[in-house]
Each structure stands twice: as C-alpha cells, then as structure tokens.
Chain A
Amino acid sequence: DAGVTQSPTHLIKTRGQHVTLRCSPISGHKSVSWYQQVLGQGPQFIFQYYEKEERGRGNFPDRFSARQFPNYSSELNVNALLLGDSALYLCASSLTPSYNSPLHFGNGTRLTVT
C-alpha cells in the first residue's frame, strides 16, 4: 500500500507570498493532521481534520488554514509568508483522530522563505 504522500517535496517562496501544500492519506484513513517542524525542534501541531471537518487547531496565526476534501486528501495554505515559516511541513494520516490510532507520516514538504 502507498504511504502518505506529500507534494511538493521542496518549495522556495518569497516573503509575502502564499503557498499551498498537499497531502494524500493512506487509503482508508479519514483523519489528517498537519505539523510544522523547524530545524532543531520536534514537530508542532497545526491542524487536525476528520471527516472533512476541522477537529483541532494548534497555536498558529490565522495566516495558516487547511481543508480536507471528500476523498480525504488535504491542503495546508499559508498566506503572507514570513521568514519564520521556513520549515518542514509534515502531514500524518490515521484511521481516526484517536490516541490509539497510530499516526503515519509523509516525508514532508521543505518550505524555504527568502
């Protein structure tokens, strides 16, 4: 089975631009979460979506938004990019948004903001 796939793998943007990152979950997984991993730190929770509804949101500004589509794939959007948004963005899928439903991570999208 295919794992979690994320696109693009790398992206370079300029301050003030917006970006859209995409994620396809493992087949059968209805829950998708997004994490930001800054160099030297662990992943930080951004959003959780289940059955196309936002179920959780981390401490990120409103410039960050996301959505989940009927096929359970997801997009993460970031507007008005700042240098500090440079990071690895990870998508994780699971069967359900429960502690006992293991997260399966993609390889991430490396975003560089210049």
Chain B
Amino acid sequence: AQSVSQHNHHVILSEAASLELGCNYSYGGTVNLFWYVQYPGQHLQLLLKYFSGDPLVKGIKGFEAEFIKSKFSFNLRKPSVQWSDTAEYFCASWGTGGGFKTIFGAGTRLFVKA
C-alpha cells in the first residue's frame, strides 16, 4: 500500500538553527506531494506542495522542500528557525489508484527553544 514515512517524530532546535525534516514516499510513479503544518491550537494548513517542474519548491514562512525522485524523498528545510515555527509538521502524498485521498505521514513535532 502507498505510504509516507517521516524519520523524526520529535525535533528540538534552538532559534536560528537550520531545520531539515525527512520524508520518504513509497509510490514510484507520478507523485503529488505536500507538507502541512499544525501550529498549537490551530488547524492543519498547507505549507507547500510539489506537482511537477522545479524540484525545489518554496512555501510560506520561509520553508522550502526538495523533491528527489531517485531517493523517493521530499525533505522540508528552513535555513533559520524561529520560536514561532514550533508546530507539528506532516508530509503527505496524493493517493494514486483512485479514492481522492491524501496519505499522511505520522508527523514530526518540532519545538524551537527561544
């Protein structure tokens, strides 16, 4: 079955540190990939997406992600995190084979120390 894996469940960083959250997807064909973020007390919201074209995609709040097809990866990065980036981050893939579904990874909880 199609799946999305996130390597780190919990990450703790100090402000200004660089961030990279790992994500791997299982499907070998055309993929449509997303990162969602859930800030404390808020709903899930889209951070960025990749459908095709430039494998380096930029999202809101200075986040970017790189699609590497050969590695089945879509890692999320930010050069310098802020305390306000404390949140849970979910990598996701559009489900293939019908169903109109999005398949989510287990999530990574990021805590940024001020």
Q: Which A residues are within 8 Å of any B CB, using their own CB?
A: 3-4, 31, 33, 35, 40-45, 48, 50, 55-58, 90, 92, 97-100, 102-108
Contact = CB atoms under 8 A, between A and B. Distances in A.
Interface in B95-109: 95, 98-107
A44 B104 contact: yes
Contacts of B95: 45
18 contacts: A31-B100, A33-B101, A33-B102, A41-B107, A42-B92, A42-B105, A43-B44, A44-B104, A56-B101, A92-B44, A99-B51, A99-B94, A100-B51, A103-B44, A103-B46, A105-B43, A106-B43, A107-B42
Contacts of B49: 102
Contact of B104 (A40, A43, A106): A43
B28 to A, nearest CB: 17
Nearest to B91: A42
How many chain B residues sit at the interface, stated as a range, is 20 to 34
B90 interface: yes
Interface string B29-43: 000100000000011
